[in-house]
Amino acid sequence: MRPMLATKGTSVPIGAEWAHEVKWDGVRILADCGGDRIRLTSRNDNDVTIAWPDVAGPDVAGPGIPGRDLLVDGEIIALNHDGLPDFRVLQDRMHVRKGPAAARLARTVPATFMVFDLLRLDGRDLTDEPLERRRELLAGLAADGALGAWQVPASYDDGPMLFDATLQQGLEGIVSKRRTSRYAFDTRTPHWLKFAHRHRLSYVVGGWRPQEGAGDRLAALLVGEPTADGLLYRGRVGSGIGPKVGAQLAQLLAPHERTDSPFADEVPRVDALGTRWVDPVVVVDVDTHHTSRAQRLRQPSYQGVRTDLAPEDL
């Protein structure tokens, strides 16, 4: 089984027929509980139970207690250094298929299962029930302690308020759901709408990459964040840099070329290969899906040069 997916929305809906939830930056999971077992499957219907002993291991209290039969939908999350859910924190855990390694990572990178839908309860298929009823039953399970350490996130009536609040808090976004919506596996429904935030931040250019097979055409920038420890590498930005913009940036950066990296930390080889290094004097704006400046850029997009800012202003 594959979970139901949300459609990208254009404007947050308002009205009593909609409920709104935080969009969690994690790993989507269906958890099938029966008797003393819990089976976790990924969005692609792969069995990933062994990777998450802190979610589905034998020592997890609550889910799968004798006599209960549950199928729930949710998101496994982990927190970054800023205390925010961050998909990248889970990277080392996602593909682990050996028990000892999974147990070790569970201690160093603990995960939390955020359960937002209930699809089966004690043998009863709930997928044809409206979302509002499924959430009501789910809340009852949480109140009775049947979900153990699993958490049921809140649902809100005011979507625009939640959208603004999650933006200010650095969260990924929100999902708006029709209260009457049924659950259909392996479909992308217009009755669930997702709204992801993009965060615009300023970074310093430390190098640029030419496009393969296109000579010296600038295709991507390597950017970093000025800190007390020097310029720390934050990622490579290629989206938003077309031929015209690339030519303008190449002309701007040409007087600042140097032979060595200006970054205080090591740039990954895949990014450093073929890079033309420059003195860190040019500041650019970047849109990104990430939630913390101190983390590596996620799906970055170049927005423009900040001629009004110097590196020391950051």
Q: Report the side by side order of strands in the sheet with 69-77.
A: 37-42, 27-34, 69-77, 112-121, 124-125
The answer to whether residue 98 is catalytic is no
Instruction: With CA atoms as reference, report the closest residue to 187 among 72, 43, 21.
Output: 43
Could you say which of 8, 23, 177, 194 is catalytic?
23
CB 271 within 8 A of CB 220: no
Instruction: With CA atoms as reference, report the closest residue to 110 among 76, 59, 152.
Output: 76
| Residues labelled as active-site residues | 23
